[in-house]
Structure 1
Amino acid sequence: MDNTAAPAGPGSGFRALVVDDEVGLANVVGSYLEREQFEVTVCHTGTDAVLRAREVDPDVVVLDLGLPGIDGVEVCRQLRVFSDAYVVMLTARDSETDTIVGLSVGADDYVTKPFNPRELVARIRAMLRRPRTVTSPADIARRTPPPTAPPRVFGELSIDIERREVTLGNTSIALTRTQFDILAALSARPGVVFTRPQIIETVWGDSWVGNAHLVDVHVGHLRRKLGDDPAEPRFVQTIRGVGYRMGTGG
């Protein structure tokens, strides 16, 4: 496999960018994704990753944290300026600090090396199922709001699910996909407490495998963007020992 995009297979439609300076590992991951009929582009430096992401507009980026030169954190930060692709960080360091740093710049998930490529691909598939394709009237009724559904309003906070837009007062709030999906899940049932496993199943999918602490990290970033005081949150409230619920905004 070289640095060019592989031809899409039958039934393909998703584009993946794999970035790792370990050439063998990058090629293995790319091969597994190609078997799942992804259109795959592989590169090995952070600089190339940003350039190729602009060229191929990937749906998902598998990104090594420890790249030479521009590391994975900086690549992710630059990606978030122009791309809303799902980002899975690969790290050889199983430390909470590394995980939080990666997620803080917009990564959606992380995998610690060594890992099983099949499991990685399964997690990517689970991510890509989040914006599910609607194929029947029953799916439409179950999965999406009616076309005329008004925004969900909680005090100064307005959440337009159809447009995926969030405003606080007169200010537009830029959320990552994951942050918006968490807010959408909680706001669908205000006052109802969601456990961390329930949030993971709703947002990441039931095949996701990992630490539930991931939810807390994303909620922390979501609160900061909403100006929500963790000690007395108006919007995303913590129910100690259980999970989170949507407050009234009052």
Structure 2
Amino acid sequence: MAERETRRVAVVIEDDDDIRNLLETVLTQGGFEVVARSNGLDGIEAVRTFEPTVTTLDVNMPGIDGFETAKRIRAFSSTYIVMLTALDEEIDTLQGLDAGADDYITKPFRPRELRARIEAMLRRPRSFGAPVDAAPVAASPALGTVAQAPSEPVQPGTPLATEAEPLAAATSTNEPAPTSIGNPAEGWHEHNGLLLNLPMRVVRADDQEIALTRSEFDLLAALMQSGRRVRTKADLALLLRGESYVTSHFVSEADKRGIEVHMGNLRKKIGESSSTPRWIETVRGVGYRLTAADD
């Protein structure tokens, strides 16, 4: 059991042989067992079979591209996705993040930087959950372990849902309601009827459980814990990268725009209008904070 808990698996999806070999070497040196595939469909099957901790993903590949591959992976897996591409336009970065990527690195990249950014992601809390209305899959393991492959792996070409995985969903719809809603000592935070539980990574709004991605949950948790204190876009971008807010850390405009994309998706899921916010208000030119508490 101890040996299983120390294992880390990475899936590399890259059609360029030289870059694929480089990624295998870099990740192996970082302590990962590496599974490499040269196209999106084979990569999706590898992610489903091996349930990796981290998946690196090229954008320009034969067949389905990296954006579509990321969406399909996100429909069933909580693997950390790092997109690697020669595309460096801001719109490409935003499209990658919107597809479910956790990070986006342009080529050529420095192997040391790739490993550092992966390790930063691994320091973030990690939860697992099955998508709503999706067929059950093998239970996901603790960080860095490898689960048994499903008895019937997905065949190449099988259509998959493209919804982002609800990582903040509870593991059972029959779970009893908490007895002390809004008690931070028991992990609950409440604001104007919006409920968030940190240990369980559960969010409820108007008595409905909300399925959020890992990044969306982390952003909402940061705001719930900060109350009326403004969290800047740079602050939140560093939070998602697993870094503390230090001015020497570089935060690009694309990083800040990525936070706007995540916040837009979060607001849609909790059913909130940015013009008349109930829970999260935008501080123009700065960032976000909770709205004033209802009387």
- TM over 0.5: same fold? yes
Q: 216, 219, 225: which is aligned to 2:260? A: 216
1:90-169 correspondence to structure 2 within 5 Å: 90-131=84-125, 149-169=186-206
Are the aligned partners of 2:188 and 2:198 in contact in 1 as well (CA < 8 Å)? yes
- What is residue 48 of structure 1 aligned with on the other side? 42
TM-score using structure 2 length: 0.71
Q: 31, 49, 65: which is aligned to 1:37? A: 31
> Any stretches of 5+ residues in structure 1 without a counterpart?
1-8, 134-145
- What is residue 165 of structure 2 aligned with on the other side? none
- What is residue 136 of structure 1 aligned with on the other side? none
d(CA) in 2 for partners of 1:97, 1:201: 20
More helix as a share of residues: 1
Look up the SS of the partner of 2:75 in the other structure.
Answer: helix
Q: How big is the shift at 1:160?
A: 1.4
Which residue identity is paired with 2:100?
G
d(CA) in 2 for partners of 1:247, 1:47: 44
TM-score using structure 1 length: 0.83
- What is residue 75 of structure 1 aligned with on the other side? 69
- What is residue 286 of structure 2 aligned with on the other side? 242
Q: How big is the shift at 1:232?
A: 2.6
Q: After superposition, what is the alpha-carbon deviation per residue over 1:172-230, rounded to whole angstroms, capped at 9, x for unaligned?
A: 21111111111111111211111223223333122875523222221122122122212
Are the aligned partners of 1:157 and 1:249 in contact in 2 as well (CA < 8 Å)? no
Are the aligned partners of 1:13 and 1:39 in contact in 2 as well (CA < 8 Å)? yes
- What is residue 162 of structure 2 aligned with on the other side? none
Higher deviation after alignment, 95-104 or 186-195: 95-104
Are the aligned partners of 2:26 and 2:115 in contact in 1 as well (CA < 8 Å)? yes
Q: After superposition, what is the alpha-carbon deviation per residue over 1:92-116, rounded to whole angstroms, capped at 9, x for unaligned?
A: 2112222222211211111111111
Are the aligned partners of 1:19 and 1:62 in contact in 2 as well (CA < 8 Å)? yes
Q: 66, 80, 83: which is aligned to 1:89? A: 83
Which residue identity is paired with 2:24?
G
Look up the SS of the partner of 2:227 in the other structure.
Answer: coil
- What is residue 154 of structure 2 aligned with on the other side? none
d(CA) in 2 for partners of 1:67, 1:217: 25
- What is residue 17 of structure 1 aligned with on the other side? 11
d(CA) in 2 for partners of 1:84, 1:10: 19
Which residue identity is paired with 2:217?
F
- What is residue 171 of structure 1 aligned with on the other side? 208
Q: After superposition, what is the alpha-carbon deviation per residue over 1:114-136, rounded to whole angstroms, capped at 9, x for unaligned?
A: 11121111101100011289xxx
Are the aligned partners of 1:12 and 1:39 in contact in 2 as well (CA < 8 Å)? no
Look up the SS of the partner of 2:109 in the other structure.
Answer: coil
State the Cα RMSD in Å.
2.5
- The percent of aligned pairs where both chains have the same amino acid is 41
